Amino acid sequence: MDTFTQILELDEDEENHDFSQPMVWEYFEQAEKTFGDMDDALKQRDLNTLSGLGHFLKGSSAALGLSRVQDSCEKIQHLGHRLDGSRQLSDDEALAKITKMVKRVRIQYGEAQKWLKDFYGEVAL
Amino acid sequence: MAYNVDEKNASTSGSASQPALPARSTEDPMPSTSDFVKKLYKMLEDPSFQSVVCWGPLGDCFVVKDMNEFTKSILPRMFKHSNFASFVRQLNKYDFHKVKNTDDNQFGEHSWTFRHPDFHADRRDALENIKRKVPAARKYTPSSSSNAGPSAIAPAPASPSPTHAQLTAEIQRLKDEGDDLRGRIRNLERNYENVLVELVGFQRGMAQQDGLMQSLIGWFLEGGDIGSGIYPPIQPSSLSEPGLFLPPQAVQQRIGQSPADIGRATLMQMNELSRRGMSAGESGRLWSGMDFNVGGNGFDAGASAGPSQEGAQPRSRAEQLAQIRDYYNQRQAAGSSSTSASVAAAASTQRRSSDSVALAASRAMAEAQVQQQQQSPASVSSYSTDQPTPPQWGPTPPFVDASSSSSFSPQSQGGVGMGQYPSPSDNDLMTHEGLQVYTVGHLLPRNTYVEDAQGNWSFDPSALLSGGMLGGLRMGGQDDEEEEVVRPSPSIPIGIPSSSSTSAHQSPELLTASTPGVKSGGTSGATQQKLRVRRSTFVPGWAVPPRVLLVDDDAVSRKLSSKFLKVFGCTTDVAVDGIGAVNKMNLEKYDLVLMDIVMPKLDGVSATSLIRKFDQGTPIISMTSNSKPNEIMTYYSSGMNDILPKPFTKEGLLDMLEKHLMHLKVIQQMSRLSRNIGIPPLSDANFEQALTQAYNAPSPFSFQFFGDGDNDGMSMNPLAGMGLTDEQYSTILQNIVNGEGFSGMMDSGIGGMEGGEKRGRMDDMDDDRGGKRSRFEVVE
């Protein structure tokens, strides 16, 4: 939340959110594209790509301070390396876990998106 | 050196050996010769001693071949003691001198050779001329005891077994060294005190200037409504400040010397005036008057009054463009020869200056204005003294501001002898000092917006594009160029951060200083002319805006980071992957690179390795969320300089910037000092003293810029751009210190030049103050 507050401070117009809102919207776009990519990668059982996508979404979520999405993405990143904590996974295990985790991230992302859209009031769209 | 010093080490040991002489001297054929000399001669005649001590090859000196053997066997027999040092002392007393061992010494390096002009193997009769020196003779030898120690002993370390005397002498030598060191420390302490005095002087100067600025701006705010007709009242108040500004005729003189300088001054004002002209022309209001005042001509005696601007605009652009190009070229010529402390800064400066010229060119500027400035000393003096103001309050967008002011910087030292030590950013720094506003707020006439957006050329291109496009449609509310509108009433709390000094740039109240007024979007059509106060940037006092290359594939992070960077006053360029980063690094020079690690095409580590193959210097900071120790090792080994863990905070980024762009701030601090050095006396004895010391002593602040002293002073003579030589500059400084006017100094300075005296000012960096003083006398 602190991170997000700091972003809001960068808005010069406190009512328009001239800076932060476009950025958040961009995040939405980017995240949804990433989810699509994740689905593709899951189909192709491409763990490395999944890891990379997890890292990517982790980065942008972290930038906005969406820490739950960030955490889940980090897990995907590690699972993509077939690691669960310190446990080595088989590809199948990893894929199964990632599939679960991607669903979870989607839910968390949905929450975050709703919150953000509420925050910005959706009007400006 | 070694052999003319020994003589001073007189002691009583010589006389102690004398009582032994009478027994032998009875049969001596040399009655009037002193016993010691007789014994010496005898000793040398004695064939049994030949292996140890003998005449030199030419018979004009004698050689102690083996000091140990000599001390052990001969000294006790001949001189009744076994102290070689005493023997040497006694020899010295009789004016024998040790002959320095030469490389080809046939008796080996441990031999001692002594010589006396009257001591010859075949000139027995001359021996009586060898007399013991009168003790008083010591007085004539300068620095006797202090020098005696070291050199008397110089050969000692080489001798295989040091005797007691040698050790004593060694101790003596160390003592002398200690004294010497103590003396140096005292010297340093004295210098340090001087520096402290200087600093106090600077602070005083700063405070005074702040006060002046404050009152000026206060006046502008009050008088802004009435418009531009009210220049005269300012002038008395500003010029009444004792000695802060140049006598007009001096300025006139100096201006007359250098067309390039005029060009500079002109261009500087052009930016301000033309904008003012624009806004004045487009709106009936006289807000421009205020811009003008604040922007740079506050002290103007009215020579270039606001109203004339309104007529200025219609002039042909091509004509003005050519003119400006001309000036620009001149400036470049002048600027290129002056060494800049930071090459990078200079490079970026030039880039930006070209931009600012283009910008200036795009605005109308009357030729008459130029003429006016050439003829009007007052306006020129205002140019130089006012420089602190425009960038804060001038009607320009932040980056145009920065560029326009920095583009003058290589020559800005020319301004009124401010800035004793040139720095490429002198001018720009002044910018940040007078008020300590640090480009926080910008008064911006609404209608100039589109041009302003163009001025942001070096900024994030996407932001620029959108800003430009939107700017055409609606004046306010661009996505990252948002501004607030403040009604221009006399009571505007524009938030002049009065005398807040060094901490000002960090203080939050500056950010909020601009009172949120009417929202811009809704009132863009309002009839009343408005001023926008931007608060989008807050610069931590960079000398020049650092150019940062931001490499990130994540659009959100990229946007956020570039926003932060913008707020911190950096100009940002972006690359979306490693390949883009490498290409950009190849094409441009950046002050800093912020590099994401995980990126498509080419990751940050590989990109860094590639960049390091052709660029060793630019700091590359990795932004990453993967900061495990082994990963960090990889980053560093690829050539990265630091790690900025993601997600980073504003503070984290700022710390990183300040850490790696220290040099850009240091320059600022340097010239902050130097600017004050150049200020004419504040009728304060201490301050004058400090100035004198600052100039005469190789001040610590100056080292950085002195480089090698003989390059015609370009590196340290801020007036070089005006065609002044070192001597003239020295004289100017000296005259400032002496409280004399500028008028006399020019004559003498020119005289110095005609005399062909071209000497590097810093030939000798040692503490030879007297030497430097005397040089002024020569010049004057």
CATH 3.40.50.150 fits A18-120, yes or no: no
> What confidence score (pLDDT) does residue B504 get?
36
Tokens 């010239």 belong to residue: B671
Task: State the Cα–Cα distance between residues B748 and B725, nearest whole angstrom.
Answer: 12
Instruction: Give the model's pLDDT for residue B717.
Output: 44
A-facing residues of B in 650-679 (CB < 8 A) are 650
B65 or B336: which carries more pLDDT confidence? B65
* 3-class DSSP assignment, residue B639: coil
DSSP state of B102: P
Q: Given its phi and psi angles, is residue B439 left (phi above 0), alpha (psi -120 to 50 degrees) or beta?
A: left
A50 to chain B, any CB pair closer than 8 A? The answer is no
Closest CA to A98 of A39, A28, A57: A39
- Concatenated DSSP letters for B524-575? TT-SS--EEE--S------SSPPEEEEE-S-HHHHHHHHHHHHHTT-EEEEE
Burial group, residue B267, by CB count within 10 angstroms (0-12, 13-18, 19+): buried
Query: Measured between CA atoms, how close is B428 to chain A, in angstroms?
Result: 25
> Tokens 């894929």 belong to which residue?
A95
Task: State residue B730's pLDDT score.
Answer: 61
Q: Is the pLDDT of residue B674 over 60?
A: no
User: CA-CA distance, B246 to B614, in Å (whole number)?
Assistant: 48
For the domain made up of B2-162, give the CATH fold. Arc Repressor Mutant, subunit A (1.10.10)
Question: What chain B residue is nearest to A55 in terms of C-alpha separation?
Answer: B598
Spatial contact of B414 and B722, defined as CB atoms under 8 Å apart: yes
Q: Tell me the pLDDT band of B68, cut-offs 50, 70 and 90.
A: confident
The answer to whether A111 contacts chain B (CB < 8 Å) is no
B547-660 homologous superfamily: Response regulator (3.40.50.2300)
CA distances from B478 to A41, B398, B461, B559 (A): 38, 15, 14, 15
Structure confidence by residue, pLDDT tens digits, B357-398 = 444 444 434 343 444 444 444 333 334 333 333 333 434 343
Mean pLDDT across the stretch B524-542?
45
Q: Which of B536, B559, B647 sits opposite A12 (nearest CB)?
A: B536
User: Which chain B residues are within 8 Å of A14, Cβ to Cβ?
Assistant: 516
d(CA B420, CA B678): 6
Residues of chain B in contact with residue A16, where contact means CB-CB under 8 angstroms, are: 477, 482, 521
Out of A3, A16, A52, closest to residue B482 by CB? A16
CB A35 within 8 A of CB A60: no
Look at the block and give the residue holding tokens 């001693």. Answer: B49
CB pairs under 8 A between A and B: 81
Cβ of B553 under 8 Å from any chain A Cβ?
Answer: yes
Cβ-based contacts of A19 with chain B (< 8 Å): 479-480, 482, 563
In this prediction the ipTM stands at: 0.87
Rg of chain A in Å (alpha carbons): 16
pTM for this predicted structure: 0.35
Asked if B573 and B484 count as a contact pair (C-beta separation under 8 A), the reply is: no
Question: Of A34 and B538, which is predicted with more confidence?
Answer: A34
Residue A8: closest C-alpha in chain B = B560
- Most confident listed range (A48-52, B702-706, B739-743, B753-757): A48-52
Average pLDDT over every residue of B20-43: 63
Specify which of B473-482, B537-546, B559-568, B625-634 reaches the highest per-range mean pLDDT. B559-568
> B572 near B548, Cβ under 8 Å?
yes
User: Domain segments of chain A: what residues?
Assistant: 18-120
A26, A55, A74 member nearest B598 (Cβ): A55
What are the phi and psi torsion angles at B587 (to 5°)?
Answer: -90, -35
Q: Which residue would you say has higher pLDDT here, B322 or B23?
A: B322
Each residue of B433-481: pLDDT tens digit?
A: 333 334 333 343 333 333 333 333 333 333 333 333 333 333 333 333 3
Higher pLDDT, B705 or B669: B669
Name every chain A residue with its beta carbon within 8 A of the beta carbon of B535. 12
Query: Taking 50 as the threshold, does the pLDDT of residue B528 lie above it?
Result: no
Contact residues for B647 (Cβ-Cβ < 8 A; gap 6+): A3, A59, A62, A63, A65, B557, B625
Residue whose structure tokens are 């004289």 = B731
Chain B contact for A59, CB < 8 A? yes
Nearest CA in chain B to A34: B554
More confident of the two residues B458 and B275: B275
Interchain CB distance below 8 Å, A22 and B479 = yes
Per-residue pLDDT band at B756 (split at 50, 70, 90): very low
What are the DSSP calls for B643-687, one per residue?
A: EEESSPPHHHHHHHHHHHTHHHHHHHHHHHHHHHHTSPP-S-HHH
* Distance (Å) from the alpha carbon of B437 to chain A's nearest alpha carbon: 18
Of B615, B612, B565, the closest CA to residue B589 belongs to: B615
Q: Is A60 on the interface with B (CB under 8 A)?
A: yes
Parts of chain B belonging to CATH 3.40.50.2300 = 547-660
Across chain B, what does the average pLDDT equal?
Answer: 58
pLDDT for residue B641 is more than 90: no
What is the band of B667 on the pLDDT scale with cuts at 50, 70, 90?
Answer: low
On chain B, the residues whose CB falls within 8 A of the CB of A26 are 555-556, 559
Token pair 């015609």 is found at B712
A18, A60, A63 ranked by CB distance to B477: nearest: A18
Query: In chain B, what residues touch A22 (CB-CB under 8 Å)?
Result: 479, 559
Pairing of strands B53-55, B61-64: antiparallel
pLDDT of residue B177: 94
d(CA B379, CA B231): 12
Q: Is B482 on the interface with A (CB under 8 A)?
A: yes
The pLDDT of residue A13:
67
Residues in A touching B523 (Cβ below 8 Å): none
Per the model's pLDDT, the better-predicted residue between B597 and B191 turns out to be: B191
3-state secondary structure (DSSP) of residue B63: strand
**B601 reaches A (C-beta below 8 A):** no
- pLDDT for B186-238, tens place per residue? 999 999 999 999 999 999 999 999 999 989 888 888 765 444 444 444 444 44
Tell me what pLDDT residue B65 has.
82
Query: Which residues contact residue A64 at a Cβ distance below 8 angstroms, ignoring those fewer than 6 apart?
Result: A3, A4, A7, A23, A24, A27, B556, B560
Identify the closest residue of chain A to B566 by CA–CA distance: A10
Q: What is the DSSP string of B192-228?
A: HHHHHHHHHHHHHHHHHHHHHHHHHHHHHHHHGGG-T
Q: Could you report the per-residue pLDDT of A17-74, keeping only the tens digit for each?
A: 778 888 888 889 899 999 999 999 888 888 888 888 888 888 888 888 888 888 888 8
Choice among B124-133, B140-149, B566-575 with the minimum mean pLDDT: B140-149
The 10 Å CB-count burial string (b at 16+, else e) for B73-93 is ebbeebbebbbbbbbbbbbbb
Please state, as a whole number, how many other Cβ atoms lie within 10 Å of the Cβ of residue B583. 13
What's the pLDDT band for B266 if we cut at 50, 70, 90?
low
Residue B163 has pLDDT above 60, yes or no: yes
Q: Does the CB of A8 have a partner CB in chain B at under 8 Å?
A: no
**pLDDT winner (highest mean) among B41-55, B330-344, B501-515:** B41-55
Closest CA to B571 of B584, B560, B562: B562
Residue B181: predicted pLDDT: 94
Residue B85 CB contacts under 8 Å (≥ 6 apart), including other chains = B163, B164, B165, B166, B168, B169
Residue of A nearest to B514 (CA): A12
Burial class for B725, CB neighbours closer than 10 Å (0-12, 13-18, 19+): buried
**CATH 1.10.10.10 in chain B, residue ranges:** 2-162
B556 to chain A: which residues are within 8 Å by CB? 23, 26-27, 30, 60, 63-64
Confidence of residue B415 (pLDDT cuts 50, 70, 90): very low
Burial B656-688 (b: 16+ CB within 10 A, else e): bbeebbeebbebbebbbbbbbbbbbbbeeeebb
